[in-house]
Amino acid sequence: MESAWVDTTLDLNINLFHHTSKALKKESDGKMAGSDVKVPVKHETGVLVEELNRVSTENKKLTEMLTVLCEHYTTLQNKYKELVSKNSEGEAATSSKKRKAECEDYSTTMIGFTANAESSSSDENSCKKPKECIKAKISTACVRTDPSDNSLIVRDGYQWRKYGQKVTRDNPSPRAYFKCSFAPSCPVKKKVQKSAEDPSILVATYEGEHNHAQHSPAALSSLSPVNGGTSNPRSAAVSSSSSAPAKSSAPAVTLDLMKPAGSDDTKKPTQQVEQPAIQQILVQQMAASLTKDPNFTAALAAAISGKVLGQKW
DNA sequence: CGTTTTTGACCGGCGC
DNA sequence: GCGCCGGTCAAAAACG
């Protein structure tokens, strides 16, 4: 997923220049042909080539930085996995009456914001409750919020009705239970609870699948869907809420929210650094999704060429 | 007045 | 069988 990121970033710049130079070429071929400005065009081409080289170099640098960043992230994630597994083992050893599903579900959630009962074969197969084995569509999503905010509200584009709240044993913060209130027949349920380790993170667990379209235009609060094949949290992805499996955008966002959290643990990036980083990532994602759209690139090319023609430079 | 949220009670599964 | 625990229900309260 990281590479896709890099690629789209590159695409954006390259496409831009591509179209720009095309537009310029069009200008020089058509309107300017036979006119009195041939030397400036040559000069301009040189400048553009120079600019292109500069941008290419910059992209290379950025790519390298991103690679290093990804490596650091992977390392951190592995370390975190180790820690979590150690913790769960310790708890299992000390407390005799552990609730296996609870512990495992939670740990998976925190590791990579991924949890799906569907694909985790051995554990789910060994579970005694047939109910749990039947309801396969389970996934989690995490939202970074203000730690002092106790609202337990995760905006994911759907309308939810709260039907219960409980304080669970392994987490001091209460867990809220929601049902989808849009369609009475919609079986989807959602559990929202603050992370025990990081109160600024809300963990939302989705069960089931929506049998209707997303209806709220989505004030999406930077929610990371996790998705192991479920459809509901996907709608909470920052950019796309289509019905197609979110292959590119959704996982990227998942990473996004973990990065700051992970870097917090190791070095010292502060919260102030975190927010602009997320914003930057969101911008990049929007750019990526836009550049993938041929209509947009065509429109962009037309706009640039129109601008260039209008300016006559 | 209808809808949503709150919250204590209840139920069922699980471990001992 | 008993107690613990998570999940759900439903009456009351709050809200728009």
The tens digit of pLDDT for each residue in A188-209 reads 888 888 887 777 888 888 887 7
pLDDT tens across A107-164, in order? 333 333 443 433 333 333 333 333 334 444 677 777 777 766 667 777 677 888 889 8
Per-residue model confidence (pLDDT) at position A104: 37
Please tell me which residue, A11 or A157, carries the higher pLDDT value: A157
Report which of residues 17-36 in chain A place their beta carbon less than 7 angstroms from any atom of strand B: none
Task: Please tell me whether any atom of strand C lies within 7 Å of the Cβ of A102.
Answer: yes
Task: Please tell me whether any atom of strand B lies within 7 Å of the Cβ of A164.
Answer: yes
Checking if the pLDDT of A238 tops 50, the result is: no
Task: Please tell me whether any atom of strand C lies within 7 Å of the Cβ of A169.
Answer: yes
pLDDT band of residue A4 (cuts 50, 70, 90) is very low
Nucleic acid strand B: bases within 7 A of protein CB: 4-9, 13-16
3-state secondary structure of A63: helix
Report residue A166: phi and psi, to 5°: -140, 145
Question: What is the rounded distance in angstroms from the CA atom of residue A274 to the CA atom of residue A4?
Answer: 22
Task: Please tell me whether any atom of strand C lies within 7 Å of the Cβ of A100.
Answer: no
- Mean pLDDT over each residue of chain A, to the nearest integer: 55
Question: What is the rounded distance in angstroms from the CA atom of residue A60 to the CA atom of residue A58?
Answer: 5
Cα dihedral sign, A106-A108-A112-A115: negative
pLDDT band of residue A214 (cuts 50, 70, 90) is low
Task: Please tell me whether any atom of strand B lies within 7 Å of the Cβ of A161.
Answer: yes
C-alpha of A165 from chain center: 28
- pTM over cut 0.85: no
Task: Please tell me whether any atom of strand C lies within 7 Å of the Cβ of A161.
Answer: no
Nearest nucleotide over every DNA/RNA strand to the A161 CA, judged by C1': B4
**In DSSP terms, which residues pair with A202 in a beta bridge?**
A143, A194
**In DSSP terms, which residues pair with A223 in a beta bridge?**
A143
Tokens of A89: 């083992």
Tokens of A244: 């197609």
**Strands in chain A per DSSP E:** 138-144, 160-167, 174-180, 189-194, 201-207, 223-225
Nearest nucleotide over every DNA/RNA strand to the A176 CA, judged by C1': C7
Task: Please tell me whether any atom of strand B lies within 7 Å of the Cβ of A42.
Answer: no
Question: What is the rounded distance in angstroms from the CA atom of residue A202 to the CA atom of residue A293?
Answer: 33
Task: Please tell me whether any atom of strand C lies within 7 Å of the Cβ of A191.
Answer: yes
Query: What DSSP designation does A233 have?
Result: G
Is beta strand A174-180 parallel, antiparallel or unpaired with respect to A138-144? unpaired
